[in-house]
Amino acid sequence: MSSLFIAHKIGQHYGARLALEDVGFTLERGQMLALLGPSGAGKTTLFRCLAGLQSPDSGRIALDGVEVASLRGRERRRIGLVFQQFNLVPRLSALDNVLAGRLGHAPAWRSWLRRFDAADVARARDCLARVGLAGHEGQRADTLSGGQQQRVAIARALAQQPDLIIADEPVASLDPGSGAGILELLKSICHADGLAVVCSLHQPEYARRYADRVLGLRAGRVVVDVDAASFGRDQIDTLYDGVIHDTQF
């Protein structure tokens, strides 16, 4: 079976500073990859490259054989993005924020006027229900808790009907209980829908608990690439120089 998502020998420099060097991995449908590494390891740069927000200096990133950098307009809906700070429109309702995920499916004039048909509205409601927010459709985004806002952001990504979700530290702004719930949600969506998920994290214990595979960056290079079940003390020490003493490992 061919891989859904391929990153091959990705390199990125900012002037003389190396951000990424020969970074690569493949990802299948229904697989969740956790991306770990200390601050400055290159995770944010890699996120931007994988999402098509910037083009790497070298290497190839492809979704189903199509270069991510070449995706334009409605093709971009194949990649759903989830951010640390949610990126919702605060004054709009949860439903209206999720409907933004349908913009790539609606005719241009409907998108401009934000007049969505009944099928789009029904899908947005279903996505909210799926993330546990049935009954909150009309609530303004800025009145929701942080965990609820991140669930709206995930529902918005789901509304796109993507093949891949890329989540950039989606639990960094949340308390441990809310964060665990968000990762459990991403994991269940990934496995149930056959989506691929790339999720950058700071918490090694979350990577082992919720991901299928762990990719570790240090100084812009891949130093760990293992199944989550094999991710343990040795890999933690390689990534963080032994400064993290987590009793769960």
Mean pLDDT of 145-172: 95
Confidence of residue 105 (pLDDT cuts 50, 70, 90): low
Name all contacts of 86-90 with Cβ < 8 Å and 24+ positions apart.
86/141, 86/146, 86/149, 86/150, 86/152, 86/153, 86/173, 87/153, 88/141, 88/149, 88/152, 88/153, 88/156, 89/141, 90/140, 90/141, 90/142
Q: What's the confidence (pLDDT) of residue 111? A: 46
186-226 pLDDT per residue, tens: 999 999 999 999 999 999 999 999 999 999 999 999 999 99
Confidence of residue 180 (pLDDT cuts 50, 70, 90): very high
Q: Which range is least confidently modeled, 8-12, 53-57, 113-117, 244-248?
A: 244-248
- What is the rounded CA–CA span in Å between residue 186 and residue 240? 26
Higher-confidence residue of 117 and 124: namely 124
Confidence of residue 109 (pLDDT cuts 50, 70, 90): very low
Helix (H) / strand (E) containing 23 = strand 17-27
39-54 pLDDT per residue, tens: 999 999 999 999 999 9
- What is the rounded CA–CA span in Å between residue 87 and residue 97? 10
Q: What's the confidence (pLDDT) of residue 104? A: 65
Q: What's the confidence (pLDDT) of residue 71? A: 87
Amino acid at 117: D
**69 secondary structure, DSSP code:** G
164: tokens are: 């891949």
Confidence of residue 106 (pLDDT cuts 50, 70, 90): low
* Cβ(20)–Cβ(46) below 8 Å: yes
- The predicted model scores a pTM of 0.91
Confidence of residue 9 (pLDDT cuts 50, 70, 90): very high
Higher-confidence residue of 72 and 224: namely 224
- What is the rounded CA–CA span in Å between residue 172 and residue 207? 13
